[in-house]
Chains A and B, each alone.
Chain A
Amino acid sequence: MKMLKTATVAAALMGSAALANPYADYEGTTLIVNFPAHPHYDAVMQILPQFTEETGIEVEVDQLPYLAMRERQTLELAQDEGDYDLIAYVVFSKADYVYADQLENLAKYFMNPALADPSYDAGDLIDGYVYNIGFAGGDRGYLSGKTGSLFGLPYGSETSVLGYRKDIFEKHGLEVPETYEEMLALACQIPELEPGMGGLASRAASGHHAAHAFLLHLNPLGGGIFDDSWQPIMNSAEGVAAAEALKQIVDCGPEGASTFGFGEALGAFLNGDTAMYLDTTVVAGQINDPSRSQVVDKVGWALHPMGTERASQTGGFGIGIPANAENKEAAFLLMQWLTSKAGDKAVALAGGNPSRFSTHSDADVNAAFPHMATFGEALQYADPDWRPIIPTWGKVNADLGTTLSQVLTEGLDIQEALDGVAERARATMEEAGYYTWQ
């Protein structure tokens, strides 16, 4: 620390361009980056001019809808020479890209004294996000651990929180739920207290919507998708409890809840059709936007309720450097600038999702977005193992989502349905070689 201070003072005294401007060598470089069309990255667009001004590095952004982005990246990354210098990737792409050797290992950049900013403070980055989105090669292949290393940095990541209608809770003297039991009881009590209103808005549509909603409840209730030897355990008693919770929420939810996707669930809450909303933090910006929301200033935020433990979602996006990028070092500088303390604060103030603990407790950020402190607290419980990030997950996830949708709409027996998913998941894992050593 003392050395750092001395260096800073020396640099200030000398006023030398070489020392003061690590970006000098890259001035005039144009970086081509690929970002998704997403509220966080809309905020990023606002701070990029500041980066160019400070560094002289130009940034050209190719912003695509996120599914299209993934397809485009799959094609781009397989080329010998890619178009992109920096990409934002959705969390489950980590498994595919790292496995196919398409993302740069960041060690060599953080080791390079000409590139790595000593005041970066990586310890301030949110642990759950870093291990979930940026790390690979550790425990279970996709988590932190002694054998792992860093391939990306979380940027535009999200966790889950509970939004609730302060006015409705006050009117009926209700307590904000702390535990799953309380939340589930409230979910069905609210439609009785407020006729026409649903308890909790949840996604439930067939496919990844239903699977996502199930996962939200699975870990807090003590369940998981696989055990340590990759045997499926989503059909355990905890898994059944999570599916039952989902069913209860949907049954006591607004009309038509069983077919709600992300947009409809959020729409129902913004419309005032439900009293609670349990999902990603990314929606916070829209709640108080009068052009979209009818519940402006009526929403309070609380931690994702606790089951047998606290375990909120980890997901969203990270940024990484493609192995076939042309300007890797300049891309690293952009990546470092964006996720630095100053960059993270700037993007938070522009309406993005911060990746650092310090930004969540920052006074300016909290003055602009009072919910940020609660979100910061929620992040301490963000579970990096919220879902398995392995190449076969896409298939297991789709099966889970389709089957759960049948549970919600066709009245399929929960245990039987999850047993089916487990059996098929085992076959998928077997084929992919996960039982080779057993």
Chain B
Amino acid sequence: MEQVSAPALHSRKKKAGKINHFATPWTLKNAAAKGDWKTRLSFLIMGFGNFAHKQIVKGAVFLAGEAAFIGFMLASGGHAMSMLLSLGGKAQQKVWNEAKGIYEYAAGDNSLLILLYGIASIAIVVLFALLWLASVKSCYKAQYQQEHGKHVNSFADDVKDLFDTNLQGLLMPLPLIGIFAFTLLPLIFMISMAFTNYSREGDHLILFNWVGLQNFGRVLSFGGNIGKTFWSVLGWTLIWAVLATFLNYILGMILALIINRKDTKIKGFWRFCFVLSVAVPQFVSLLIMRTMLQPNGAVNVLLQEAGLISSPLPFFTDATWARATVIIINLWVGIPFTMLQVTGILQNIPKELYEAAKVDGANSVVIFFKITLPYMLFVTTPYLITTFTGNINNFNVIYLLSGGDPVPVGMTAGKTDLLVTWLYKLTVDQQFYDLASVIGILTFVIMMVVALVTYHRSGSYNNEEAFR
């Protein structure tokens, strides 16, 4: 984060004199106060002002947008939004068809589709509001430019601007639509499920209702089955995230230091050995590990053949063993990765610091804890935060390795399940969508809190010049 925002800050300082550049006279307020009748009419008939100022194409675009929006609202949007309140209540019904002598099914409501269409309609309304704002501003802009004797942009000028001063208008829309459709909209959709009873429980898979904060109460309570599972899964998720992040970090750094030692020979070869394991796709190496560690997998069989153990080791069948196994295997996955990330930074630690420490008679352990580690923590705090939140969401390692096993009888989550794998099981296997969505929201809240607190307390935020 630090590296990312630093250049932004820098450029802001440089551009401070120009920051008012964004403030233009053509605002909604000015358009309402100072607009002539043409501009005011454009409040109702979008693009009217543009037509009046001979910006035909632009005006046509705005007008077409308005027509399409009204058409959409009349055809389906209005209905979709009105259904959002009740989420529908008509169940599928059997109707006796006299003529054919059979029962026919009359389609009932599907709350999920109602919710989806409702939210999509709201999104379209918001987008239309933005378009409306843009049209009003553009009409007033045309009026303003004419009043002040400036050149009123023709369509060709606007297109030319798209490649120059308004380049963002050309480059941004498509990626933004992608983000909107595949990140933002699904997210809002999923968050809204947290306030319904959309779940297999009580047969609410087709018809469901708004239930307010009830699901949050169930998940956060210490009483019920779900509440107990939540707190134990949360506890393990945090333990896992702390251990996985810091063990990987410190051991990976030590490995990098050992390889970087002056006296270590064939450095490239050692690095290659470790990088190889990062280069193999994670799901492949994790699936391999999993088969090797099964009760009749390679490790157990070979140990038994060698006579070292009499019965298979319970890698994924005993809770403590399973937790230790996933952490150790995560070390296998993560240490080379940390090594790659920190090697470059380690070489940048000022040599004078080490020389001074040596003169003072510090041994290598003291040097590591007093110089290397603080320096690295200082520089890599943003990296650590991302790794930590990444580990809270470390779906692959848990799901592909242990699958959350061992699962106690009657529980929805296993002993090695993280919040995200539990969320996955609750949706895909159990179809408790309402609870899963609450868990997703809570996971997000935890990650935000962790990220904000650590970042604000870290040296790289409070004391930017410590190592300069």
Chains A and B bind each other: no
